[in-house]
Amino acid sequence: MAQDQDIICEIRGAAGVVILNRPKALNALSLGMVRELARALDAWENDPQVTRVVVISTSEKAFSAGGDIRWLHDCGKAGRQDEMLAFWGEEYILNHRIKTYPKPYVALIDGIVMGGGVGISLHGSHRIAGDRYLFAMPEVGIGFFPDVGATYALPRLPGAFGNFLALTGERIGAADALSVGLATHSVASDRMAELADALTSRAALDDILAGFTIARPPGPLQAEAATIADAFAAASPLEVVARLKALATGGSAFAGKLAQTIAAKSPTSVAIAHEQMRRGKDLDFAEAMRTEFRIVSRIAHGHDFYEGVRAVVIDKDQAPHWRPDTLEAVEPAAIAAYFAPLGAAELKLEV
């Protein structure tokens, strides 16, 4: 195995195996990684030797913690938005490719899975959660938005759970992920390597997984399901916050914490994410990806993404100056503009 490659795609037995191998960056996706995975999927689709795709990580900490945010920030600050949009465009096309892939696509997720890592795992047929599984879409905290197919996937989670994830960026573990369908199976961390090896055999996929799958007790958020469903089903982000504050007044410490969490995020991003969830439930996957490309095409030329990355990733002062700085000041027309068609610049998908 070439240890210096960020991603390694090779055939092992009956499986096309994808190894995420950029551990120092928590397997953050680069354009080169996106292109190599896309190339492998193309090669394996009609290869009779390959019956399934298996995605694994060399990092004990992360499956993939997202996209290469610092690189994207630096491109934009240098006026190279065309390079940013080339990355996002190819990434979104890859997300759609995974969603529509004709062979089983099995992601072994044991560690952090966020942002771009969600995009190369959640849309596959099988998402296997290890003990260390930790899912989040934390983009609203850096002036961005839940992309890589979140517009389609999150509104379809039960009990407004996807809205909760999108607006708060909260992290959840394997048990809660299983309960809402973000993960399809659960396996003990110390058996993940054994499972990866077993998946290269020609045995039936479901039979292999049955021999490794474990049950998990209810996750901590199961007790908060009613609070989540009540607050995050609200028709506007301001109403979400109002419901959370009312629940907090009624004694819910959980609701009070979430209201504070949302208050620290980019108001524009929170409003975009809420509108995504509202629209996304009625979109097919291809249209969801086109919608995300419309949004990102505007964010690349905006303010909050660069300010958020500065505050969280670069200076690490955790003190972003959002524009506008309150949800009340966000103009509905400004949010609607993020969703407007791009004409000739629309994302080109093969459907």
The per-residue pLDDT for range 46-103, each reduced to its tens digit, is 999 999 999 999 999 999 999 889 999 999 999 999 999 999 999 999 999 999 999 9
Q: How far apart are CA 220 and CA 231, in angstroms?
A: 18
Q: How far apart are CA 225 and CA 231, in angstroms?
A: 10
| Mean per-residue pLDDT, 190-209 | 98
Task: To the nearest 10°, report the CA torsion of 128, 131, 155, 221.
Answer: 150
> Residue 350's pLDDT band (boundaries 50, 70, 90)?
confident
CATH class of 7-345: alpha beta
Collapsed DSSP state (helix, strand, coil) of residue 216:
coil
pLDDT tops 80 at residue 111: yes
Catalytic site residue from 91, 147, 170, 304:
147
Residue length, the chain?
351
Predicted TM-score of the model (pTM): 0.97
Does the annotation mark 139 as catalytic?
A: yes
Given a contact cutoff of 8 angstroms between Cβ atoms, the answer to whether 87 and 53 are in contact is no
pLDDT tops 90 at residue 246: yes
Given a contact cutoff of 8 angstroms between Cβ atoms, the answer to whether 305 and 142 are in contact is yes
Collapsed DSSP state (helix, strand, coil) of residue 23:
helix
Q: How far apart are CA 27 and CA 31, in angstroms?
A: 12
Collapsed DSSP state (helix, strand, coil) of residue 284:
coil
Catalytic site residue from 67, 119, 169, 308:
67
Catalytic site residue from 68, 91, 110, 139:
139
Alpha carbons within 13 angstroms on the beta-carbon side of residue 272 total 28
Of residues 338, 340, 221, 330, the one with CA closest to residue 265: 330
Does the annotation mark 67 as catalytic?
A: yes
Q: What is the pLDDT of residue 117?
A: 98
For 302-311, how does the pLDDT look when each residue is reduced to its tens digit (9 = 90+)? 999 999 999 9
Catalytic site residue from 116, 117, 143, 162:
116
Q: What is the pLDDT of residue 1?
A: 45
Q: How far apart are CA 74 and CA 70, in angstroms?
A: 6
For 332-348, how does the pLDDT look when each residue is reduced to its tens digit (9 = 90+)? 999 999 999 999 999 99
> Residue 2's pLDDT band (boundaries 50, 70, 90)?
low
Q: How far apart are CA 84 and CA 271, in angstroms?
A: 23
Given a contact cutoff of 8 angstroms between Cβ atoms, the answer to whether 16 and 205 are in contact is no
